[in-house]
Amino acid sequence: MPRKFFGTDGIRGLANTEPMTPATALRVGMAAGAYFTNGSHRHRVVIGKDTRLSGYMLEPALVAGFTAVGMDVFLVGPMPTPAVAMLTRALRCDLGVMISASHNPFHDNGIKLFGPDGYKLSDAAEREIEAMILGETQPRPAEAAKLGRAKRLDDADGRYIEFAKSTLPKGQKLSGLKIVVDCANGAAYKVAPAVLWELEAEVISIGVKPDGFNINKDCGSTQPKALQEAVVAHGADIGIALDGDADRLVMVDERGSVIDGDQLMAVIAESWQGQGRLAGKTLVATVMSNLGLERFVNGLGIELLRTKVGDRYVLEAMREQGFNLGGEQSGHIILSDFATTGDGLVAGLQVLAALCESGKKASEFCQRFAPYPQLLRNVRHAGGKPLELPAVQLAIDTAEKRLGKQGRVVIRPSGTEPLIRVMAEGEDQTLVETVVADIVTALEQAAA
């Protein structure tokens, strides 16, 4: 059954428009607080946010909701999503909340919820909370004497900085590395440069002047041009670009070339395999990760397990089967030895540690494989089930046969729009373009 509020990554929408209004945020606070109230102890929630203007509107509304049902609130201000997940566990809170729309523009916002274990909520938990938000079941307000309190957690930055540093081997430093870090004018604008500096790198920081409007604007992991230019201009060894809530990253080598999530996962997988740290000798990625990554890790004796698109599916597979490394081509990398969600900074530190150990330049070390030509096209349709039409199925079958073992075809409907996403990759660029065009034509004719 479709849900009204919760999507694939919490609740998200246009600021001050349903569901991103203070009225709904108040109900979310009451409902989530009531759901996680269990026992007679003082219940606690930690709330972090990124740097969007609308965070000032949503944060106090959530605080009102949580305190109304008797929960005490820790406010940590601008803080990466993975830091909120970490603090939820470290502070023994019953619940964690991140106010962010990740890599979206400033006018969007969202509410992500974490359980006491630091993991995002299950579908079942979200359904129960949503029922309370909609008024199907009513959260019980606390008695006047049992209302919650709210206070600022002054050492939150320091706690996360020390945590991030602790993910490197004892004594590991980044001395001698000149690093440009782009914090996307977002949640990591204080902590990311501090971590790198304390690890003795020479740090040039950009995207660290948030004004409420410039989060992710012409900067960050989704728009790395500013980082590319800064790395070259400063003669840096490498660059790191985070997104607005710092749960994903891309990197840039000393020549200004982008190192995407697939290449970063290859670096970490090879490094961990060599250290005997890669659980199950398996890397978990989605169907969108490049075939070149699969061939590269297979050559190292590492299996690539593919999931549906979405970090939640990657994490589900990791938890179910005990694997500790997974992620997406977009740079959302999950290292479950350290974190319960993607952490751009911590993933970047693993790459930097391996780079230091190699003694090589980033362009030599971080571009681990030659990507196969990959093409993605979106086809809009008027509804129905166009993928079930015989002409479309024939086009897909023909494409798969033409590519054979030297390529892949991935066809998937969008979860949010009437679109069919058509992706193919293979050794022959011309053949990839041809088979994608044939499938797109069949879909367009079906939609006509």
Catalytic residue numbers read 102
Is the Cβ–Cβ distance between 73 and 47 less than 8 Å?
yes
Q: Token pair 């309370």 is at which residue? A: 132
Nearest to 82 by CA among 161, 144, 168: 161
CA distance 236 to 229: 10
Indicate if the alpha-carbon torsion angle 98, 104, 110, 111 is positive or negative.
negative
What DSSP letter does each residue of 417-441 carry, written as one string?
Answer: SSEEEEEEEES-HHHHHHHHHHHHH
Give one word for 310, left, alpha or beta, with left for phi > 0 and alpha for psi -120 to 50.
left
CA distance 238 to 258: 10
How many helices (H) and strands (E) the chain has is answered by: 14, 19
251 sits in which H/E element: strand 249-253
Q: Is 375 helix (H, G, I), strand (E, B) or coil?
A: strand
Q: Is 370 helix (H, G, I), strand (E, B) or coil?
A: coil
CA distance 400 to 201: 48
User: Packing angle between helix 429-447 and helix 390-403, nearest 10 degrees?
Assistant: 180
